[in-house]
Structure 1
Amino acid sequence: MQWKEVNIAVAPRATDAVALLLYECGSNGAVIHDEETDECGRIRITAYFPSQPHIEKEINNKLQVLATGEKLSLAIAWQPQVADETEWLYTWQQYFHATDVTRRCRIIPAWEVNTVEKNEINIIVEPGRAFGSGLHETTAMCIRLLEKYVRSEQQVWDIGTGTGILAIAAAKYGAAAVKAVDIDEASVQQAVKNVQRNDVAAQVQVERGDLLQNLTPPKNGVDLVVANLVTDPVVCLLAGVHRFIKKGGHLIVSGIIDTRIEEVYAAVKRYGFIVREEKNGNGWYALYLQQEE
């Protein structure tokens, strides 16, 4: 796969809003270069998108809508060359370092595993080109909820696993069996490597799939499903996940931008779930839900 790079110069007050929009549009990661500003005092954001027809026009239009609504001055520059797979894989990894996401849990990139201090729970990640380093707010909120609610002997599913980071976290927090699913074959391959790297292969099964399609509901139902996606797939998941979760079972959903949280609340109610806890940070929400019995 090939990738296109876009650089956007924007006022510091709007960096989060622009980064959120890029993620909603399908970026596999955005870097905010807040250590440097241009002559107008703007901060540069770099993002990558799969090279597809009309992607530049689509993203530009959405950025201009945001700029008009927020009265922003944007400078948008697409790189004329297309990044190949190898170049894209590692360009942004210089920004990924060991990070504590809870008091107990530390995310460690594979290239730092021998050089940093360990915590009680350590998740070693080689991101490759899959989404999910643990640095994104949505991933961190999901890990915090997993730490609080995963119990031993539980069966957990991670839908849209990316690097496998949430599946690995569930296993390390004590889940007896974890199924990790992703539609992207490269993500599946990377998740398998990370599962092995973290010595949880006995607990975690990784497979390719599109949300819940072609999955077989277990006899007694899943105790907990976690899904760090974006808003539309979250709503789609809510519509069908009741067939897989046991009565009174739980669901963690994230990747929900704050401007669309009301849509998700409506879907939660429509499909028979109750909000037991919510977290929010930097414009994103994560919800811990229970299926009505």
Structure 2
Amino acid sequence: MKWNKFTIETTTQAEDFVSAMLNDLGIEGIEIEDNIPLTEEEQKGMFIDFPPELPEDDGTSRVSFYLEEQEDAKEILRKVMLGLEEQRQFVDVGAGTISSSQTEDVDWINNWKKFFQSFYIDDILIKPTWEALKEEDKDKFLIEIDPGVSFGTGKHETTQLCIRQLRKYLKKGDRVLDVGCGSGILSIVAMKLGASHVVGTDLDENCMTSTYENMEVNHLPKEMGEFYVGNLIDDVALQEKVGTEVYDIVVANILADVIIPMAPVIPARLKKGGVFITSGIIDFKENEVKEAIEKAGLTVLEINHQGEWVNITAQKN
């Protein structure tokens, strides 16, 4: 299916008014482009290490919307132009011009799958659920994953660093806490390595669905895992749910700027002698994260690098 894309040249001051007007006309799926810098709070909420470099904010904004090819674009555009003229009375809408282009209906959710193919992390085979298992791989240590809309195929260096450390430190019967579980790949690896029970947390409720679905694909009983939505850093109720001094291993593959404020709550989750495995740390933040972990009372056992990413493994004495 082809879609007609219409873009209104307006101002950042008016973009919310224009969006509301389009919504009132029954137009959904609005796209806004501007050069307003992200605030510190927005950057924290997005968990990004590198804020996008934008041109200087010149006060302009582009508000786009899409109509199906067969829709009566002429009548809708007439109403949009009238709406813009009405808004000129109380807000600067800028040029208010509308340009158009045509786009194909792309299946973004599934098209990326061609880039995710089976691969090995040492002797562990990570296979997407939609790919057939080769005959020669049928006796391999297998993890099947469908990330869905969650993070985690296992290909990223940070995930591989964590998997190798789980392989090294996890003992049969261990209890594991997976902070920022994403697609559940680390939880599933832990279960297949012999963990008796895994608890996971994530800010995104979609991750709960992905994790349970991936457990089912890997023939793991649902009872082996409990997964909660929430922020372990400051959610006291969540901290109580996951428990105190009950985990042999806590694994967190997140980002340096999350690990640092989270470090103080990790020791309380670990048993004495328990191990904290973490990654998602860009190399120039290694010392900052290491200091936060040590300040929390944990002893660093080892630091590993893969590309520009770092794993820090520490222990509760």
2:201 to 181, 186, 203: 181
- Between the aligned partners of 2:35 and 2:189, the Cα distance in structure 1 is 34
C-alpha deviation, 1:185, in angstroms: 1.1
Deviations 1:224-268 (A, max 9, x none): 100000011111221111111112211001000001111111112
Q: 1:241 maps to what in 2? A: 266
Q: How does 1:58-207 map to 2 (within 5 A)?
A: 58=38, 62=51, 64=53, 87-103=107-123, 105-115=124-134, 117-118=137-138, 120-201=140-221, 202-207=223-228
Q: Aligned in 2, Cα 1:54/1:158: closer, same or farther, shift over 3 Å?
A: farther
- Between the aligned partners of 2:138 and 2:174, the Cα distance in structure 1 is 26
Q: Is the 8 A contact 1:274 1:289 kept in 2?
A: yes
Q: 1:21 maps to what in 2? A: none
C-alpha deviation, 1:278, in angstroms: 1.8
TM-score (norm 1): 0.69
Q: Is the 8 A contact 2:158 2:253 kept in 1?
A: yes
Are 1:252 and 2:272 an aligned pair? no
Aligned pair count? 225
- Identity rate, percent: 31
SS state at 2:183 partner:
coil
Q: 2:74 maps to what in 1? A: none
Q: Aligned in 2, Cα 1:93/1:290: closer, same or farther, shift over 3 Å?
A: same
Q: Is the 8 A contact 1:222 1:246 kept in 2?
A: yes
SS state at 2:154 partner:
coil
C-alpha deviation, 1:135, in angstroms: 0.4
Task: Give unpaired runs (5+ residues) of structure 1.
Answer: 1-50, 66-77
Q: Is the 8 A contact 2:177 2:247 kept in 1?
A: yes
- Between the aligned partners of 1:91 and 1:63, the Cα distance in structure 2 is 25
The structure with the largest alpha-carbon Rg is 2
- Between the aligned partners of 2:280 and 2:139, the Cα distance in structure 1 is 26
- Between the aligned partners of 2:34 and 2:314, the Cα distance in structure 1 is 38
Q: Aligned in 2, Cα 1:52/1:287: closer, same or farther, shift over 3 Å?
A: farther
C-alpha deviation, 1:118, in angstroms: 3.8
- Between the aligned partners of 1:55 and 1:164, the Cα distance in structure 2 is 35
TM-score (norm 2): 0.64
Deviations 1:59-91 (A, max 9, x none): 9x94549xxxxxxxxxxxx9x7899xx944223
Q: Is the 8 A contact 1:275 1:289 kept in 2?
A: yes
Q: 1:225 maps to what in 2? A: 250
Q: Is the 8 A contact 1:171 1:178 kept in 2?
A: yes
Q: Is the 8 A contact 1:168 1:204 kept in 2?
A: no
C-alpha deviation, 1:218, in angstroms: 3.5
1:215 to 231, 236, 239: 239
